[in-house]
Structure 1
Amino acid sequence: MELNFGDELSQAAVVVFTTIVIILLICGIPSNTLFLWTLLKIKRLRIIHNAFVGNLAVSDFLITTYLLPFNLVSLLNKEAKIPDFLCQINGIFAHIVFSSSVISVSTIAVHRYFKICHYKLCLRIYTKTIACAVIASVWIIGILFAVPLIWMENSLIFDPTVQMCIFNRYVSQTYSIVYLFACLFTPVSVTMICYYKIYAYVIRHKRQLLTWNNGIGQTRFRNDVRSTKSTFVVFVVYLVLYSLFGVLATFFDKHSQVATEIHSTSIYMAYANSCVNAFIYGFMNKDVLKAYKEALRCRRSRKIKNINILTQDGTSTQPSIFQTKSSNIKETESPKCKTSVVQNPSQKPNSMITSI
């Protein structure tokens, strides 16, 4: 079954939306791939907060790499139509991914709140096991809300304006209200409350935090605030790009009441949200940008750094560079002296664990 909007997309609208989809694919796939690759490759980024951020990146990656190409193929060929069975699968898949995406934004905000406002409590609550359970719960909730669509008649229908199967939010008013409340309004409300409490806490304790004598504590707090700013911007961009879709879903009870171009614009704005998060993290957090550069390096530098060896008698020696042969490497070691390796003062220390 197809949706009836009265008019199909004009040729000019098709050209515009095709261009938009191509841009989203060019920007979205490499950026999300780089972001996930960076989280996996750079060890200092493997922390609990980044696990929640990475979960959101997985949703964005699936949207840009799987759903968007179907739109592009259909826009380039109006006569193309995917089989009904695949259309249903794509509709359910899109429903799960978009639901998990908005809930993931909420889990990031909740963790940020505990990390900044209740740091010691956060260390006890957010263990690796709890973090994995939360991430799994995000996807389980998305799947549970997608299961009824299998038995609801006309719940997933082909939308020619976006050339894909989408959730028919007008087929059941009860289900739509429950879904919007559980997977949209509640996560968004929780996220807004968390960021407001974080802002109030930082303003209220700003002078106290600046008087800390613990330099490590100050550095940790500054990193947490910087990463919170980037996740807050991600949330604001999410609200802006999903606002039109939310208005149409909430205040219009029939597709015929919405202009075709406006409906399509709301869908592609939602797609655009999945392509900008990796850029926001890199632009607002210099540590993330540095991690991007490290992840893109093909191999590590083999430059030999200067080291000093301190012996028991306090003397300092500068070792010579060993010349190695392909079949034999000779090493000398004195059993009478205890050695320790000290880095050259000019060498920069390893950077702290970074949260995105």
Structure 2
Amino acid sequence: MFLASNRSTTDNCVNLSAPGGHSESTSGTLQSTTVKVCVVCILLPIPVLAILGNILIWASVVRFRSLQTPTNSFIVSLATADFLVAVLVMPFSLVGSVGTWCFGQNFCVAHFLLDLTLCTTSIFNLSCVALDRYVAVCDPLHYPARMSTRRVTLLLFLSWLIPLLVSSLCVSLGTYSLNAPSGHRGARQESQTCVAQFHTPYAVAVSTVCFFIPVLFMLFAYGKIFMAAQRQARWIHAIENQVRQLHTAQNPSRDDPNQPHPARRVGARVGGFSIRKEKKAARTLGLIMGVFLLCWLPHFSVNIAFSLWGTRISPVVLDAFMWLGYANSSLNPFIYASFNKDFRHAFAAILGFRILGRRIRGCLVATQEGNRVAC
């Protein structure tokens, strides 16, 4: 993201093979080509999955009216940001990661601007999703008022405006430098490099605004959601016990443990639901935050460390952590949609799973008409 650490090499942009016909040179060229092919095979699925997954999000919302809600507006905005990262940022980063930067310094600045803006927008949209779920779970009675169409629109506008302002200020104020890694000299090598290195105080400030503040908010929101889910599970369990005790008090002679009565069956069902709900909440929130931190925490930590220690960090590590952050854009549509039943049904219907297609379409149509159907 910030460290567009596209490696500078001694290869030429047009001809990647070394001059001369010596066997050592040829062997080195073949080895270098093999490594580059392996890197491309590893990295190329990231933008491909991001493009396909986020297009699937768009298609689901456009096709099924039941998904056209203010809540899913954040998911659509997140899909848009991740899609733009995959289309406008990743391909050029991939070229720089496996070879040399052949697009010039002016486009390098534009690439840095897009990279910082779109990746930060994606993170801010993730924070909006956390805020929406926090209000829905922790204050459901006031959810329609607090997450009205006007406020959702404002949050979406700020999620795109603030990253654009931050990246524009970084470019206009010159808070970063585009330098070649240590050991490379000359104008030719510098022209083949696109490495955005923040100056020390700005690296800390930008990383705090673009990542650490949102991640602290997400941890707070999802922590509150988890505790609320636990409280609801305990309330359901208490209701189950009260129903059982009430039925026993009203029908003492008919309380046969070997003959399950309706109240006990309802209580068991509710109790089982409370346990499943608590476990599902723990798995869901743990996966969402675990994937997000796994993808972005190494990059932002290295971003600050790079500004402090510079060349002590391997360029390979910088590239690996940069692409680990990009991978979050390909995982987001599958993570957030997998925990939404309507999105799962829409995905299956769009992808043409015929075995479930008829039932899925019936469920979605019934949802659109306001009917309650167990899908």
Q: TM-score scaled by structure 2?
A: 0.68
Distance of 2:314 and 2:336 partners within structure 1: 35
- Please tell me the residue identity of whatever aligns with 1:350: A
Q: Is 1:294 the equivalent of 2:349?
A: yes
Say if 2:122 is the partner of 1:101. Answer: yes
1:112 partnered with 2:141? no
Task: Output aligned runs, 1:234-273, within 5 Å.
Answer: 234-252=288-306, 253-273=308-328
- Counterparts in 2 of 1:56-205, with a 5 A limit? 56-74=78-96, 78-79=99-100, 81-153=102-174, 155=176, 157=178, 165=194, 167-169=196-198, 171=199, 173-205=200-232
* Cα deviation code 1:268-289 (max 9, x no counterpart): 1111111112222454444322
Preserved contact between residue 67 and residue 342 of structure 2 (Cα < 8 Å): no
Which of 59, 69, 74 is 1:52 aligned to?
Answer: 74
Residue 331 (structure 2) aligns with:
276
User: CA shift at 1:206, angstroms?
Assistant: 1.4
Distance 2:10 2:309 in 1: 16
Q: Could you tell me how far 1:134 is from its partner in structure 2?
A: 0.3
The 8 Å contact of residues 131 and 221 in structure 2, kept in 1 or not, is answered as yes
Change (3 A) 1:269 1:136: same
- Note closer, same or farther for the CA distance 1:59–1:268 as it changes in structure 2 (3 Å cut): same
Unaligned ranges ≥5, structure 2: 12-30, 183-191, 244-269, 353-357
Give the deviation of 1:3 after TM superposition. Answer: 7.5
Shift of residue 157 of structure 1? Answer: 2.2
Per-residue CA deviation, residues 295-319 of structure 1 (Å, 9 max, x unaligned), is: 456xxxxx9xxxxxxxxxxxxxxxx
Shift in Å, 1:52: 1.2
Give 3-state SS (helix, strand or coil) of 2:209's partner: helix
Aligned equivalents of 1:117 and 1:204: distance in 2?
A: 10
Separation in structure 1 between the aligned mates of residue 76 and residue 164 of structure 2, nearest angstrom: 19
What's the CA shift string for 1:312-343, capped at 9, x where partnerless?
xxxxxxxxxxxxxxxxxxxxxxxxxxxxxxxx
Structure 1 alignment gaps of length 5 or more:
298-302, 304-346
2:330 aligned counterpart, secondary structure: coil
Cα 1:105–1:232 change in 2 (3 A) is: farther
1:23 equivalent in structure 2: 45
Identity %: 20
Q: Which residue of 2 aligns with 1:330?
A: none
Tell whether the 8 Å contact from 1:242 to 1:269 is kept in structure 2 after alignment: yes
RMSD: 3.8
Q: Secondary structure at the match of 2:302?
A: helix
1:40 matched to 2:62: yes
Equivalent residues, number: 297
For residues 49-106 of structure 1, what are the alpha-carbon distances to aligned partners after superposition, in whole Å with 9 as ceiling and x for unaligned? Answer: 2111222111111111221222344456x35510222221111011111111212111
More helix by share: 2
Contact 1:88/1:156, CA 8 A, preserved across alignment: no
Per-residue Cα deviation, 1:183-216 (whole angstroms, up to 9, x for no partner): 2111100100111111111112214246599xxx
Residues in 1 aligned to 2:153 and 2:6: alpha-carbon distance in whole angstroms: 43
Alignment of 1:269-348 (within 5 A): 269-296=324-351
One-letter amino acid matched to 2:366: N
TM value normalised by structure 1? 0.71
> What is the CA–CA distance in structure 2 between the aligned matches of 1:266 and 1:8, rounded to whole Å?
23
Q: Which amino acid aligns with 2:333?
A: A
Return the letter of the residue paired with 1:39: V
